[in-house]
Amino acid sequence: MAHPAARTSIEPPSQRPSLKMERLLDSAGVVKKLVDFKKNDVIFSQGEPAKGVFYLLKGLVRLSVTSHAGKEAIVEMLRPGDFLGTWCLAEHPIRMATAIAMEPTAVRAISKTEMRRVLNAEHGLSDGFILDLLAKNIRIGSDLANVLLNSTEKRLARKLLLLSQYGTRDKTGTTLPKAVSQQLLASMIGTTRTRVSFFMHKFKRLGLVDYNGVLKVRHSLARFALED
């Protein structure tokens, strides 16, 4: 039987209140700067001074860490409505990870001093910010449980459901961002691109995913992911 902790990684995510948070940032009078990034641009790099946070308005961002030996691990994929670079608020003087735009991306850059000021002054904004951090911790914890407790096939199924934002859009299925390649999926679930390709063909044969220019994850994949 599947371990209960593994099931949390495919629960439908709640709709992220990106518009509400953006309005809160505006109404609070936050001093912020709009910054655009092209695909593969580095938003910030691991080891550089951490001077502020970013609020993701548009696009897809890959957050990764690299060991001293040069091995990279993907920590999270961030979407509109997410904050990134928040560790600086906990007195981390340098960036603990690297953030790269996976597609054309727009962020609002907010200095550490300004973000602290507004979090202390605006309770509505601080509540939303805390909820964002809690949701992020839940996603990371679910990813860890997924890696530790499930087979490669189940890990891939759960990751596809998360990346396609299963449960938040239409009733038949959701699409995966084009920037998410098989090699990237392999890195995220700890396997090889060849194994990902094998299972993707299997999922397609079983009618769990469709591919016609873009990959569409069907909701039947959720049932498959929960099977013992």
Identify the pLDDT of residue 225: 84
Model confidence, pTM: 0.78
What number of other Cβ atoms are within 10 A of residue 168's Cβ?
Answer: 12
Q: Phi/psi at 29 (nearest 5 deg)?
A: 70, 35
Sign of the dihedral through C-alpha 186, 214, 167, 82: positive
Q: What is the pLDDT of residues 32-87, one digit of tens each?
A: 899 999 999 999 999 999 999 999 999 999 999 999 999 888 888 998 989 999 99
Region 177-186: mean pLDDT is 90
The encoded tokens of residue 151 equal 């087979």
- The two three-digit tokens of residue 169, written as one number: 């859009």
Helices (H) and strands (E) in the chain, counts: 8, 11
Predicted local distance difference test score (pLDDT) of residue 179:
87
pLDDT band at 205 (very low <50, low <70, confident <90, very high): very high
CA atoms within 13 A on the CB side of 130: 8
The ranges assigned to domains in the chain are 18-140, 151-226
Check residues 174 and 68 and name the one with the higher pLDDT.
68
Average pLDDT of the residues of the chain: 85
**pLDDT computed for residue 165 by the predictor:** 73
CATH class of segment(s) 18-140: mainly beta
Q: Which CATH number fits domain 151-226: 3.55.10.10, 1.10.10.10, 3.30.499.10, 3.50.30.30?
A: 1.10.10.10
